[in-house]
Amino acid sequence: MVMPGERNGGISKIRDLIRRQRQESDGGTSGEEVSELDFVYNDADTYANEITELYSYTESPEFRKNLSAYEAILTKWNFCLQWQKLSSENQVSVVLRLLNHLELSNKVLRNEAARAILYISQVFIYK
């Protein structure tokens, strides 16, 4: 049978063990230790270039899907695929129609509209 005093002693031992493990994982037993490594980030580029570089490694397949959705929808709606050549009225019309498609119950059409909006924001707003 475990006595009440022994139970509290066991808990304090567990707390001490966890505290020591935390200190070891933090790199030392005292808070006064200073890291020997003084790393300087001198290869940083501009924010936009860093994002572009990250995006080029991680999002290429998604970007192609978004482009395909954009082209499919604009072709279906008989709009020019070159966003810059669309009049501002047609650009607004396309965006509003895409936003309306986000409300559709058809999952395929809804996702296609979302991807087209992503493509517009990825390419044309970023520039």
**Shared-domain flag, residues 61 and 110:** yes
Residue 97 belongs to domain spanning:
47-125
In a domain? residue 52: yes
- The DSSP element (H or E) to which 92 belongs, if any, is helix 88-101
Is residue 117 within 8 Å of residue 67, measured between CB atoms?
A: no
pLDDT in tens, 50-80: 666 766 666 778 888 999 999 999 999 999 9
Average pLDDT over residues 77-92: 94
The count of residues in the chain is 127
**Shared-domain flag, residues 86 and 114:** yes
Q: Confidence class of residue 115 from pLDDT cuts 50, 70 and 90?
A: very high
Q: Number of structural domains, the chain?
A: 2
pTM of the model: 0.55
CA 32 to chain centre: 36
Both tokens of residue 38?
Answer: 């003084």
